[in-house]
Amino acid sequence: MYKPHPTEYDAYYSKYVSLVPENDIRQAYADQPAELRRTFDGQEESVGLFAYEPGKWTVKEVLSHIIDGERVFAYRMHRISRGDETPIEGFEQDGYIENSNANDRPFENLLREFELARAANVLMLNNMDEAALSRMGTASGLPVSVRALANISIGHVRHHLAILNERYLA
């Protein structure tokens, strides 16, 4: 799968797509759960409740947000790849976190949920042909291709991993 052309996504998503230099998007997508797990290997559960300033999400809430993003981006990929032209609404990330119970969950539970969701999505992505990958749809009021959504999903995780490493786990 080749990289998406800038016409396949809105400029807003450039911040995520730019974090994906790989040409082999399928492999980068499949490798990401291990990347996330390495970040949390050996972390004490108490670290999960840390927020770098008042009003910011905790480490576990960031992980929950990554899981939410995984599910939302995959849902968009699925619908658009199948030719569903119905515009897909956005999601209110803060409301999702407020109702996630992330801080009551162990790291292992959060990591495993991401791994299982991503494993299913890897299968979905690997079984899409070029026509499905290049199909365009509308999500959050913006045009986007399935291929771009795969890149956005990878970049979204990397974006939050960078924040976790810089502001939370440093």
pLDDT tens, residue by residue, 85-108: 999 999 999 999 999 999 999 999
DSSP reduced 3-state for 170: coil
pTM, full prediction: 0.96
DSSP reduced 3-state for 36: helix
Return the structure tokens found at 144.
Answer: 């986007």
User: Can you give the pLDDT at residue 24?
Assistant: 85
Which homologous superfamily is 6-168 in? dinb family like domain (1.20.120.450)
Phi, psi of 58 (to 5 degrees): -80, 170
User: Can you give the pLDDT at residue 53?
Assistant: 95
Percent of the chain topping pLDDT 90: 94
